[in-house]
């Protein structure tokens, strides 16, 4: 179930989540499910994901392929571990909200509420201490796209209970840009580099 929920995971990540003590013990334990998982290597680390037999066994329709962005998934798993594995952790959470549109050319129409439904997909989502935590994993996305997504959160935050945006990024330069945007748009949140959480 853990591998399915995370999409894919390294032995080190599974070891951390399930407190499997030594790496050797983790490998021994995972050997018992080898017929249900496939593996590949990302950055010289073995990555496990459910194969067809494993998905059928637990009734999952979440198929993971080697060509998917596994590196992004693994970064998200590292963040999940850093956050002490929230019980209500959700990945690829769709946040839907209505955005009211301004009057068109000054014309008011009585009884008609002009609004568009918008949605934004966060990399991670959980609730803790009265806050709605939204997690964004920045890996290789262009900074223009990142900026557009941060701007989209301005409206989304109006529809969430005490939202907080947590951004994880690979470099100090990118961290500084994100911090500036959070400040400019008055969004509550925090930015960390991967080095800060590993």
Tell me the average pLDDT across 21-26. 88
pLDDT digits (tens, 9 = 90+) for 108-144: 555 555 567 889 999 999 999 999 999 999 988 899 9
3-state secondary structure of 184: helix
Q: Is the pLDDT of residue 164 over 80?
A: yes
- Confidence class for position 107, pLDDT limits 50, 70, 90: low
**73, part of any domain:** no
Place of tokens 């680390």: 45
Global pTM value: 0.86
Does 116 fall in a domain? yes
59 and 111 together in one domain = no
Per-range mean pLDDT, top range of 16-20, 29-33, 187-191: 187-191
Q: Which residue has the tokens 């080095």?
A: 195
Regarding whether 96 and 50 lie in a shared domain, the answer is: no
Is the domain of 62 the same as that of 107? Answer: no
Sheet of strand 189-193, all strands in order from the earlier edge strand to the far edge? 90-100, 115-128, 131-137, 163-169, 189-193
Domain that holds residue 23: 2-68
Q: Rounded to an integer, what distance in angstroms lies between the CA atom of residue 70 and that of residue 68?
A: 6
As a whole number of angstroms, the distance between CA 192 and CA 106 comes to 44
Q: How far apart are CA 12 and CA 16, in angstroms?
A: 6
The residue-averaged pLDDT of 25-45 equals: 92
Q: Is residue 95 part of a domain?
A: yes
Residue 128 shares a structural domain with residue 177: yes
Q: Locate all alpha helices (DSSP H) within 32-87, ordered by sequence.
A: 52-58, 70-82
Q: In this structure, are 52 and 145 located in the same domain?
A: no
* Domain-embedded: residue 147: yes
Residues 63 and 97 in one domain: no
**Any residues with CB less than 8 A from the CB of 9 and at least 6 apart, and which?**
2, 3, 17, 47, 48, 49, 74, 77
Considering the domain boundaries, does residue 13 fall inside one? yes
Q: Give the Cβ contact number of residue 30 at 10 Å.
A: 20
- pLDDT of residue 103 exceeding 90, the answer is no
Q: Do 100 and 43 share a structural domain?
A: no
Tell me: pLDDT of 59 over 90: yes
**pLDDT cut 70: percent of the chain above it:** 90
- Is the same domain home to 63 and 141? no
Q: How far apart are CA 195 and CA 40, in angstroms?
A: 24
pLDDT at 97 over 90: no
Q: Does 137 lie in the same domain as 59?
A: no
Residues 105 and 177 in one domain: yes
Asked whether the predicted pLDDT for residue 29 surpasses 60, the reply is yes
Across the chain, mean pLDDT equals: 90
Element (H, E) at 154: helix 143-157
Contact 52, 66 (CB under 8 A): no
Q: Tens digits of per-residue pLDDT, 61-80?
A: 888 877 668 999 999 999 99
**CATH code for the domain in which residue 179 is found:** 3.40.91
Look at the chain and report how many structural domains it folds into.
2
Taking CB atoms within 8 Å and a gap of at least 24, the contacts of 61-66 are: 62/4, 62/7, 64/7, 64/8, 66/40
CATH code, domain carrying 33: 1.10.10.10
pLDDT for the residue numbered 66: 75
């Amino acid at each position: 179930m853990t591998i399915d929920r995370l999409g894919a995971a390294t032995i080190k990540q599974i070891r951390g989540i399930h407190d499997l003590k030594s790496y050797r013990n983790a490998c021994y334990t995972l050997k018992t499910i080898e017929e249900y998982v496939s593996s590949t290597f990302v950055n010289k680390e073995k990555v496990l994901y459910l194969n067809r037999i494993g998905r059928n066994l637990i009734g999952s329709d979440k198929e993971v392929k080697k060509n998917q962005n596994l590196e992004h998934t693994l970064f998200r798993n590292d963040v999940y571990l850093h956050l002490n594995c929230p019980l209500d952790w959700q990945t690829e959470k769709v946040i839907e909200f209505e955005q009211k549109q301004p009057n068109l050319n000054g014309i008011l129409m009585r009884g008609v509420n002009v609004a568009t439904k918008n949605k934004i997909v966060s990399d991670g989502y959980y609730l803790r201490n009265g806050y709605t935590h939204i997690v964004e994993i920045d890996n290789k996305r262009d900074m223009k796209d990142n900026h557009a997504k941060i701007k989209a959160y301005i409206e989304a935050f109006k529809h969430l209970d005490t939202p907080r945006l947590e951004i994880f990024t690979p470099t100090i330069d990118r961290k500084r840009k994100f911090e500036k945007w959070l400040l400019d748009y008055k969004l509550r949140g925090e930015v960390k580099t991967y080095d800060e959480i590993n």
